[in-house]
Structure 1
Amino acid sequence: MPNRWNHNIHYHPMILSAVPSSARSALDVGCGEGMLARRLREKIPDVVGVDLDQSSIDLAMSFDDDISYVVADVLTHDFGSSFDFIASVATLHHMDASAALTRFKSLLRPGGTMVIVGLAKFQARDLPYEVAGAVATRVHKRAKGYWEHPSPVCWPPPETYSGMRRLASTLLPGVRYRRHIFWRYSLTWVKPN
C-alpha cells in the first residue's frame, strides 16, 4: 500500500491508539475503500466495514483481506451482533447526527469504545483553527503530497463544531470532545458496563 496522506488519514493513528487490547470486533462506519478497516484488522480479529457507496465497497473488496464489507445504511442494517470498537471518519455529517450517534451507541457493546472523527460548519470563532489548518495543510502537502479519496463528498456539513459538541455531550454522557486542526473534531466514548 503506498504511503498516503490527507486530512482524514492524518487521524488514523489517533483512532488506532484508542483500540482496547481486549477488542475482538470492530465496525468501520463509512469505510470507503477500506483503508482504516485494514489497519483495524491488524489489531482486531473481526472487522466489518459498512458504506452506502457500492463502488467504494467494490474497491475495498479488491484487497486480499478477511474483512467483511457491507453495502448498507448503518442506521437500519441488521449486523447480527454488537461491536467492541466503532470508528467513523468524515462520515457523521452525511447522516442525521442525532440518529447516527444513537445508532452507534446501540451497536456498541458495554465497555466498548467509539471514536468518531468528523467535520463541522465553520463559525467566526473557529478562525484560529481555520488558519492553523490552512498553514498545516500547506506544510503536509509539500512534505507528503495529498491523496484524493474516491468516495462521495458531502459539503458543507450541516452542524457547527459547538453544535456537535452539545449534541455528543447530550447523547453520550462523558464523551471526550476534541477540536483538531485540518478542520476536524473527534469524539471518544466508552459505553458504560
Structure 2
Amino acid sequence: MAPRWNHNIHYHRLVLDAVPSGARTALDIGCGEGMLARELRTRVPQVTGIDLDGPGIALAREAGGGVEYVQGDAMTEPIGPFDLVACVATLHHLDARAALARFADLVAPGGRLVVVGLARSDGLVDAPREAAAVLAHAVAVRRRGYWEHSAPQVWPPPETYAGMRVIVRDVLPGATFRRHLYWRWSLVWERPA
C-alpha cells in the first residue's frame, strides 16, 4: 500500500525536524487519526495527541503506536508542559491569538512550538504563489495520489497570510514565520530555558 499523502502530511517533516534535542515529551494538537503523533513517538519517548473529533481519536487509538490519545479541547484540557508542542492544520479552527497564547503556555522552558497552518490568499499579490501551488499540487497528486482525511474542515481560513504574520509577531515575539507551497505557513518558537 502506498503511503498516504496530502498537503498536511507533506509538512510533517518540518515538525519532525524541529524536535528539540533531548525532548522527552511532545503534544500533537488536533492529532486527528494520529499519523504525526505516531511519527513523533519514534523520536520522543512520551507523546500525547489531543483532538475534539471522537471518530478521529477512535481511529488513532485503534492504530496504537505507544501514544496517549485524549479526546478533548487543547484550549482547556489540563495538560502540559511539553518539550515540543506541534499543531498542523488546526489553528484556523480556533481564534488564532488566543490559541497561540495557549499553545505557548503548554511549552516547557527550553521547549519548542511548531505550527503549520492555513491562511487565505492576500489577493493579486499572491497570484504567482497560487499559480505555483496549483501546478505543484497537480504534479504531486499525479505522482502520489491524495489522501482525504475525515476530520472536520474549515474553508476558507479566517486569516490571510499577512494577517497571520502580524498575529504571530504580536503573540510570539521572536518566532520564525515562513510561507510554504501547498497553501501553508509555519512558525517555530522557542520558550527561553
Is 1:98 aligned to 2:63, yes or no?
A: no
* SS state at 1:20 partner: coil
For 2:139 and 2:17, how far apart are their aligned partners in 1?
A: 24
1:172 alignment counterpart: 172
For 2:89 and 2:96, how far apart are their aligned partners in 1?
A: 12
Point out where structure 1 has 5 or more consecutive residues left out of the alignment.
none
For 2:2 and 2:112, how far apart are their aligned partners in 1?
A: 29
2:10 alignment counterpart: 10
For 2:151 and 2:60, how far apart are their aligned partners in 1?
A: 11
* SS state at 1:114 partner: strand
Alpha-carbon distance change, 148 to 51 in structure 1, aligned in 2, over 3 angstroms: same
TM-score of the pair, normalised by structure 1: 0.97
1:40 alignment counterpart: 40
Matches for 1:69-148 after TM superposition, within 5 Å: 69-79=69-79, 81-124=80-123, 125-148=125-148
* SS state at 2:11 partner: helix
Displacement of 1:21? 2.0
On the 8 A contact 1:129/1:180 being kept in 2, the answer is no
1:155 alignment counterpart: 155
Report the AA paired with residue 172 of structure 1. L
For 1:23 and 1:127, how far apart are their aligned partners in 2?
A: 40
Displacement of 1:33? 0.2
Report the AA paired with residue 46 of structure 1. Q
Point out where structure 2 has 5 or more consecutive residues left out of the alignment.
none
Displacement of 1:192? 1.4
Indicate the RMSD between aligned Cα atoms, in angstroms. Answer: 1.0
On the 8 A contact 1:52/1:71 being kept in 2, the answer is yes
* SS state at 2:7 partner: coil
For 1:14 and 1:64, how far apart are their aligned partners in 2?
A: 23
1:181 alignment counterpart: 181
* SS state at 1:62 partner: helix
Report the AA paired with residue 108 of structure 1. V
1:49 alignment counterpart: 49
Report how many aligned residue pairs link the two structures. Answer: 192
Displacement of 1:63? 1.1
Runs of 4 or more, structure 1, over 2 Å off, are none
- Residue-by-residue CA offset, 1:136-193 (whole Å, 9 max, x unaligned): 0001001111111111111111111011001101111110000001000000111112
On the 8 A contact 2:122/2:162 being kept in 1, the answer is no
- Residue-by-residue CA offset, 1:95-117 (whole Å, 9 max, x unaligned): 00011000011110111011100
2:190 alignment counterpart: 190
- Residue-by-residue CA offset, 1:40-62 (whole Å, 9 max, x unaligned): 00000000000010000000000
- Residue-by-residue CA offset, 1:49-98 (whole Å, 9 max, x unaligned): 0001000000000013221111111111101x300001111000000001
* SS state at 2:77 partner: coil
Displacement of 1:2? 4.5
